[in-house]
Amino acid sequence: MFSLFRENTKIAFGSIKSQLLRTILTVLIIGIGIWALVGILAAVAVLESTITGNFAAMGTNTFSISRYDFSEQIGRNSQNAKVNPVISYPQAKEFQSKYNYPLSTVSLSFNAASSVEVKYEAQKTDPEITVVGADEYFLPNSGLETTKGRNFNTFDISNNNYVCIVGSDFEKGLLKDVNPIDKIISVRGARFRVIGVLKEMGSTFGNRQDLRMIIPIQVARSLFTTPNIDYEIKVKTGNQDMLDSAVDEAILTMRRVRKLNPVTDDNFGIERSDELLETLLSQTETLSIAAWVIGIITVFGSSIALMNIMLVSVTERTREIGVRKSLGATKNTIALQFFTETLIISIFGGAVGMFLGLLTGYGVSLMFEVAFPIPWMAISAALTTIIIVTLFSGSYPAVKAAALDPVEALRYE
């Protein structure tokens, strides 16, 4: 059996070489189908890894209060979108003082500036740094960790110390080859002492989180005075079981702060880390379904193209089939010969498509600056597709070749 397979393989390669251009085009057609399937599935795997990685760090016992919730942010550019007022600093402070849910901590923060230039001695960064004003609870409530140094303490915040915590990219650029702790960097003429370096976070939806500089919230308010600053409130509860009641209490507290009457809708958003994660992952599931639909359609077209190629090959080699049968080749031998040829073309096409698909996923991982997770689902889908294409495209031509009458085949010109 093995010797027969080896012989058929040699014959198949000889046929492929004799029709090289046609084979290359067929391989490309199959490869494009596999590429569409594997590429999108690999990209979705990277996206899921990015999302789960960022939100897992936050934990499932946190939520935030902001001007809009996630769903409102998606559609707020429409004409009928509700416009909520910003959360002002007095409102944020009032919420912090009135919210007394057990085992909970409340942090206040705001994006003070973006596209800022930071200097260290004679060096300076590109104008791409984001400055965040925050208190001592911001890091733990946001799932952030320091790899060097420390977080703000109560003394830093209450005394408005000019200290800062920087993202990990500072160690790759402005503070490269030096110990960043206790170094003095300046922003708009204000000098800050570095007390901590954040753990690398990568990018989320194009937002480079490692280019942040976090400073005490009151210092940020004094340096960056822009109108209508929108503050964000982050709350961390004792555990997941307390989250529902903690959110209910936060809504009641914020409604009192906003002075809303009982029949008025909330004019602020609540974003729970667990619900936001589920929402984002549901979007990636839609992408996965789209990948399967696109892949199936493309692979179906590839299968038809491959079957047509093999039928043409059977017709062109009718006389060869007659000679082989007259020399004693059985129907099974002839069928296996053409099926083997189909299998080889499918494997080549699948290999090309899988390589391009994995390369696409790796490119997406580089774009999001995250590790590339091996997309086992995409690889399994590719292998399954190759088997299906081979069975669908190779069976009928192989049966047709095996059924040819040897006498009529020898007469074929």
* Closest by CA position to 350, among listed 284, 298, 291: 298
Count of Cβ atoms closer than 10 Å to residue 12 Cβ: 19
pTM: 0.61
Q: Does position 52 have pLDDT exceeding 90, yes or no?
A: no
CA distance 185 to 317: 78
pLDDT of residue 75: 47
Mean pLDDT of 346-370: 82
Residues 350-372 have a mean pLDDT of 80
- Assess whether pLDDT exceeds 70 at residue 275: no
Tokens 């559609």: give the residue: 75
Q: By C-alpha distance, which of 397, 381, 382, 398 is closest to 346?
A: 382
* Largest separation between any pair of C-alpha atoms in the chain: 102
Amino acid at 206: G
Residue pLDDT, tens place only, 105-140? 999 999 999 889 999 988 998 888 999 999 999 999
Mark 388-410 as b/e (b = at least 16 C-beta within 10 Å). ebbebbbbebbebbbebebeebe
Top pLDDT among 402 and 224 is at: 224
Judge whether 9 and 337 are in contact, CB under 8 Å.
Answer: no
- Percent of the chain clearing pLDDT 70 (strictly above): 85
pLDDT band at residue 76 using 50, 70 and 90 as cut-offs: very low
For 273-295, letters b (16+ CB in 10 Å) and e give bbbbbeebeeebeeebeebeeeb
Six-digit token string for 89: 């600093």
Both tokens of 279, joined, read 């929402």
Nearest to 104, CA basis, from 63, 146, 158? 63
Please name which of 265, 182, 269, 190 lies closest in space to residue 222, comparing C-alpha atoms: 190
Q: Rounded to the nearest 10 degrees, what angle do helices 273-316 and 331-368 cross at?
A: 150
Residue type at position 174: L
Residue predicted with more confidence, 361 or 180 = 180
What are the tokens at 278? 């589920």
Nearest alpha-carbon partner for 411 in 283, 302, 325, 331 = 325
Mind listing the pLDDT tens digit for each residue in 279-311?
Answer: 666 666 777 777 777 777 777 777 787 788 778
297: tokens are 């359609």
CA distance 370 to 377: 19
E-assigned strand segments in 144-267: 146-149, 163-166, 184-187, 190-198, 203-204, 207-208, 212-216, 232-236
pLDDT tens column, 229-270: 899 999 988 877 888 899 999 999 999 999 999 888 888 988
What is the percent of the chain where pLDDT is above 90?
Answer: 29
**Mean pLDDT computed over 48-72:** 68
- Return the higher-pLDDT residue of 392 and 67: 67
| Residue 1, pLDDT score | 54
CA nearest 270: which of 249, 291, 301? Answer: 249
Tell me how far apart the alpha carbons of residues 357 and 362 are, in angstroms, rounded to a whole number: 9
| Angle, CA 203 vertex, CA 200 and CA 205 arms, to 5° | 155
The pair of structure tokens assigned to 13 is 């390669």
When computed from its CA atoms, the radius of gyration of the chain, rounded to whole angstroms, is 32
Q: Tell me which of 148 and 397 has the higher pLDDT.
A: 148
Model pLDDT, residue 232: 93
- Residues 6 or more apart in contact with residue 79 via CB below 8 angstroms: none
The yes-or-no verdict on residue 149 having pLDDT over 70 is yes
- Please say if the pLDDT value at position 164 is more than 90: yes
